[in-house]
Structure 1
């Protein structure tokens, strides 16, 4: 839950949409918002695959990692690489930073935590990531000791499984 502007908002997507709109990161019109939503949904799908890897039993981790790499490099990243090329290579909507750019950057960072060379075939995404990570507020957020949480380690996963009564 987030308390903002006299409201209590729940549900991640509602919170993110509100904050993005409030800070001019959610497009200028309905068409741009639809594109932003489409890009965000794609990154959300890939993030879900990555999150499953954290929860996988040790003997399934290698297969899940292969699945992440395959989906990222064959299905998702080629699409975003093309979008950047088609829209002038700066941001997903051309020259306008949106929350889809921030979400894509977080997805890239998560994927790189699993496989550091995952962007090797995607020069536009590499430049994109560098550009987004250099935005002063994002750069500050990504510094060691910031609020960005590191990927779950085995101890964290074991504790979560115990708390939620999973085996």
Structure 2
């Protein structure tokens, strides 16, 4: 029996959260080792596990993988969530790159000084609606299918739902002008493994708080 993947990261969302989503949706159980001190992080470096001195780190299939995009691509391919051919894979890459960009903007907003944070989050929400949700609404309208690529559930659908829910945490009405995305959200949220992951008690992490921000700054020293 293959061992469970082991995820090394701070106890919070960050760049690891999309990896948690992919594994959970694929029905793969995983273990987590939470970094709580600078010393733990430095030990991973000293042991040669962090190729570019960066986390996340995922131990899977006898490998120690770093770099978020590489990990996500591997998991998507391994669990048949990466399209049926190169064209579909290219579209999935394009859509997930876009949602990853938006996720990074959301994540960085929590690291702004307290007096700037609310305004920064407002700006990110507006950018999500004007630049990202508009695009995905058009994609769904143009091909008239249930999923973003090839009318088959893929990594792109998972990540779009993830970022929609992140934006709705700050703005519950963010999808009010996007009926196709509303329907998409409902449809994808009801896929059994996703529905399970969205329930309390799963390994899904809550929005960042001050403790998480302070921990990340202490461990990574930025």
Q: TM-score scaled by structure 1?
A: 0.92
Separation (CA, whole Å) in 1 of partners of 2:152 and 2:178: 21
Matched, 1:21 2:77: yes
1:55 to 111, 124, 127: 111
Separation (CA, whole Å) in 1 of partners of 2:59 and 2:210: 32
Matched, 1:155 2:215: no
Q: Residue in 2 aligned with 1:35?
A: 91
Q: Secondary structure at the match of 2:110?
A: helix
Separation (CA, whole Å) in 2 of partners of 1:2 and 1:69: 30
Q: Residue deviations 1:37-66, cap 9 Å, x none?
A: 000011011111111111111111122122
Structure 1: 5+ residue stretches without partners: none
Higher relative contact order (CA 8 A, sep 6+): 2
Deviation at 1:158, TM superposition (A): 3.1
Task: Give the number of equivalent residue pairs.
Answer: 166
Q: TM-score scaled by structure 2?
A: 0.70
Separation (CA, whole Å) in 1 of partners of 2:59 and 2:117: 37
Higher helix share: 1
Structure 2: 5+ residue stretches without partners: 1-56
Q: Residue in 2 aligned with 1:107?
A: 163
Q: Residue in 2 aligned with 1:66?
A: 122
2:175 to 113, 116, 119: 119
Aligned CA-pair RMSD: 1.5
